[in-house]
Chains A and B, each alone.
Chain A
Amino acid sequence: MAEKVLMKGNEAIAEAAIRCGCRHYFGYPITPQTEIAAYMAKRMPKIGGTFLQAESEVAAINMVIGAASAGVRVMTSSSSPGISLKSEGLSYMAGCDLPALVVNVQRGGPGLGGIQPSQSDYFQATRGGGHGDYHMIVLAPASVQEMASLTAKAFDLADKYRMTAMILADGTMGQMMEPVELAEGEVRPIEKPWAASGTQMTRPHNIINSLSLVPEELEKLNFARYEKYQTVIDNETLYEEYMMDDADICVVAFGIAARVSKNAVIAAREAGIRAGMIRPITLWPFPAAPVRAAAAHCRAFLSVELNMGQMIEDVRLASECARPAYLCNRVGGMIPSPELVLAKIKEIYGGVK
């Protein structure tokens, strides 16, 4: 029987990672995710794993590259400014088709910003962050339980598709405490014949590399990678729909914004407004299909985000601008209240013809 424990979001990620066979963590302290590093520092030595506090987030992501290239499950974690530092590494990982988990517990930005929660790295996560054509699988937990279960999912998807998976959490998810059901410890190592694990003199050497100087070859690599991405889009898109069957106004929100918006949707229904919510769980691939379907019967979309309007662009793209899309947002570490979202829903309901 699986145990249920009261855990902090950050620690739930760390424990879940260990339970799905991750034995290597490289990180650097930054608020509000340092608990992940601290937890790993305590746990990893006890189970023969690696915990290493690197000299920088740059060094940490490159250590991840080294371990991922060697064919083991490995992760790092940081928060917004630290993820910017990792951007070069993320591009290299995509170019080398390396699986790994990168956790971003977002804080207010840009620049040094603040230490309170935000969702302002949506573009950075879903549009790549680093240079070149690539994507990461981006997962957005909305509960401490999801911080744990999406961690396991992230590792599985990363290994299956040889991609980097990112958990895009916000500071509230990292810091809040909720009951979590953790998977029973079972290491599931998968074969990685492509890894730089040592030839043992039994095979030709493996090369983990993103350099390709012949344009025709580099083009082929890019097209092949995007064919792979299409498979991910077709098979791994995750989302949750709440009261969408007869919805008139469609709220789209992820993470903490979805928690808040759910309350607002319930309140709207009580006020006689048929509101509903689509909660993307994968931000990449973005759940375009349900958004497109919602455009058929909803009069408007309301994107609730802790940023200046980022996911709203994907809402517009997915619905092909068939309906107006409005933004309800707080930034800088402020969190929208259900009352704020409800007020916006009422405003849309009253104003849209």
Chain B
Amino acid sequence: MSLTEDQLISALQKGDEHAFKWLVDTYQHMVYNTILGIVQHPQEAEDVAQEVFVQVYQSIAGFLGKSKLSTWLYRIAITKALDWERHKKRKKRFGNLLFWSTNTTDAIENCADFEHPGWQLNNKEMGIALFKAIQQLPVNQKIAFVLHYTEELSYKDIAEIMAVSIAAVEGYLHRAKQQLKTALSTYQQ
């Protein structure tokens, strides 16, 4: 099954199951990788990806087609991932107070040493340090870096997704790269 974007959107808006399956099959890795870069936990990233597609299914009727479908999907994925992160931080804050909630601390500890599945095996420590440093970046820098580094998107595409100018993306990426370079300088041979 191969559809043009307009045909796909039209079929989705009519509630076509096959079109939805095609959408999921086509975009699942893109959505998953974006979320994984932000959330840094494979299981949680899958849960968030599920939420993204549920939202897509429920709100496709309201999609006006002003932007590309992939841009819209990226925006939903980023929003959901950031919401999840905020929720996690809130849980952590209260988890410190409510010592009986053991599940919350488990999830947080698991994220401490995140190993990206796509990272080269011969430099594990550097990969862990990189994603730990990404987690410390300000939100805009983090989004721009994840989209550029893991998704290999162009500055123009990133600017469209983030709804900012290309110059702003350049600024975010430069600052992120500088900050990460400082964090990783000890691992560089």
A and B together in one complex: no
- Seen from chain A, the residues whose Cβ lies within 8 Å of a Cβ on chain B are none
